[in-house]
Amino acid sequence: MLYVDLLIPKLNTEPRKASSAWIALDPCACFYIDSIKRLKDVRRCIIQCKRTKKAKRMKLANIPFRVQYSDYREYAEEYWGFKRKEGTDAYGFYTNPNTEFDWFQIGGRWPDRFLVKADCRDVFSGDLSFFLRDKPAEAAPDGYCWVTGARKKDIAWDLMKELFIQRERETFLSCEKWYQSGKLPSDRHDLSITEKGITSWGKLIYDKGQTLEEHLCSKALSEEYRYPLTTYAVLDDGVWNDLYEMKCVSEDNGKGNNQLWHQVVEKYIASLPEEAMLVPVSEMSRNCAGVCRLVKFPNKTFAKLAPF
């Protein structure tokens, strides 16, 4: 007897028998099928079900808004969800024409952004993203801990860079081995082998034409970089700049000079005062594309950085 759990609409309140299978018709229906063939027949029946003649004769009522709602206030608030502006009869909402994302979360998908000494008290802790609720916390070297935000002077930039280089080296060597053998680990469902190399969720993480040194340089981990941060955008004095604005990446094909952009960000971080508090803010759009911005306190200017 084959047991299959299917998510289908509730059909009846009581179970009923049907030849060699019976159906427990609750909101999450359970089918007991005696063969794979029978399972296919049942699923085909569910997927290909048609509307009845009575349902076809039913027409959607086209009710005017003036009939559905008693007045303009009810129409604006219930149908559109607008609010009334005080002192006027206008309904609507305020919007920022320069906005880039829909909402933000301090920390979010980058809660462990900076490495500081364990006894450092001037730090900031953010909220953990829903996507990371089951992910274990990142391990830190003895005497250190990962935090969401910290002052520039307290961040262990050199140690962070060493850890990132070690991680990228291991990733590069593993991908090189997988690409040459043509086999990927069975537990890495995010990886795919392409003509260019290996991708993770569609993003190229191993370029078959690069050496290890070139790979580290593309991640801003070569000797010329002090601050190991790969970023997407910078917002300072209310002006938004990113790879596209700075002409480092072509909007047509997404290709560009990442090294040039890394140098721009490197110089920018170097220009910040040592007392600047850097806090990553994970920003999201409705299509779930997210970036991270680093907010510099206490000045009124903001440093907005987003990892790739």
CA–CA dist 192, 180 (Å, integer): 13
pTM, entire model: 0.62
Report the amino acid identity of residue 293. Answer: R
SS3 166: helix
**Low-confidence winner among 39-48, 115-124, 189-198, 207-216 (lowest mean pLDDT):** 39-48
Comparing 32-46, 48-62, 100-114, 165-179, which segment has the lowest mean pLDDT? Answer: 32-46
Q: Is the pLDDT reported for residue 95 higher than 80?
A: no
83 closest CA partner among 91, 75, 74: 91
Query: If DSSP codes are grouped into helix, strand and coil, which group holds residue 183?
Result: coil
- Model pLDDT for residues 108-145, shown as the tens digit of each residue: 887 888 999 999 989 988 888 777 777 777 899 999 99
227's enclosing H/E stretch is none
Residue with tokens 């510099």: 296
Tens digit of each residue's pLDDT (9 = 90 or more) over 145-195: 999 889 999 999 999 999 999 999 999 999 999 999 999 999 999 999 999
Q: 114 - beta bridge partners? A: 147
